[in-house]
Amino acid sequence: MELIIDSSNIEQIKELNDLLTITGVTTNPTILTKSGREAMDVVKDLCEVLSEDQLLFIQTVQTSFEGIMEEAKMISSIRNKNMYVKIPVTHEGLRAIKECKKLGIHTLATAIYTADQAFLAAMNGAEYLAPYTNRMCNYGDGVQDVKDLIEMLRVNHMPAKVIAASFKNTYQVHELIKAGIQAVTVPCDVLYQMIDHPGTKIAVGEFSVNWQRAYNRNTFEK
Ligand code: E4P
């Protein structure tokens, strides 16, 4: 499974990239604006933080077919490899995904609220499909819908990967990993919740105290 960070917070991305096995970083227009900096400056920093083998996903902002295509070409030229253009699954977006496929531009279909939208984007050549898991929960069982999508792709032998997005808690991530999802993109706060547990901190504290009491030092020596 591919673990991707859903953020533009450079410091947290650096830290998590050191701690975990990270395949890449996703952003969207809102995520980039949260940095309070010019978007392209943030994207340049992301390119520096990631190795060439890690994937970077940047979303188009314009909504017309022509606008999406113009930005898709620009975004795909930012890096020599592993640069993916995120395109929302509107009518114009679906057309653009099809066109990008013809031009060899890698795409991720985003802002997906149903398994059907995702499936149609996959048919148009999207390599990644990003269902908005948490937001889908406002309309039904988002986790189950994503599981259905995984199955729809499997039985139809579709090569597109599901990269579940829009997570608000560790339970949603956990359930989809259990279902065999190909990729998840997780915000930093949810990733830290997956890593940290108060019990671990208490256990490590006890080990240190017991060692110190017994040997009057805090190191293991020969
Ligand atoms: C990532 O690709 C998506 O754009 C992101 O996960 C959406 O998350 P949100 O629902 O928190 O905005």
| Mean pLDDT confidence for 88-113 | 98
| Mean pLDDT confidence for 95-117 | 98
Averaged pLDDT of the chain: 97
Domains and CATH numbers, the chain: 2-196 (3.20.20.70)
**Assessment of whether the complete model's pTM goes beyond 0.90:** yes
pLDDT above 90 for 69: yes
Whole-angstrom distance, CA of residue 97 vs CA of residue 120: 10
| Mean pLDDT confidence for 39-66 | 98
- Strands 183-186 and 83-88, how do they pair? unpaired
CA–centroid distance, 26 to ligand 1, in Å, is 9
The predicted-structure confidence for 161-179, as pLDDT tens digits, reads as follows 999 999 999 999 999 999 9
pLDDT above 90 for 35: no
Whole-angstrom distance, CA of residue 74 vs CA of residue 122: 22
- pLDDT reported for residue 72: 98
CA–centroid distance, 111 to ligand 1, in Å, is 8
**Alpha carbon of residue 130 to chain centroid:** 8
Active site residue 86: yes
- pLDDT reported for residue 135: 96
* Residue among 14, 34, 44, 86 flagged as catalytic: 86
pLDDT above 90 for 140: yes
Which residue among 31, 34, 86 has the greatest number of ligand 1 atoms within 8 angstroms of its CB, and so is best to mutate?
31
**Alpha carbon of residue 204 to chain centroid:** 31
- Residue whose CA lies nearest to ligand 1 atom number 1: 165
Whole-angstrom distance, CA of residue 210 vs CA of residue 138: 49
CA–centroid distance, 165 to ligand 1, in Å, is 6
Q: What is the ipTM of this complex?
A: 0.97
Bridge partners, residue 55, by sequence: 24
Which residue among 28, 55, 113 has the greatest number of ligand 1 atoms within 8 angstroms of its CB, and so is best to mutate?
28
Identity of the amino acid at 147:
K
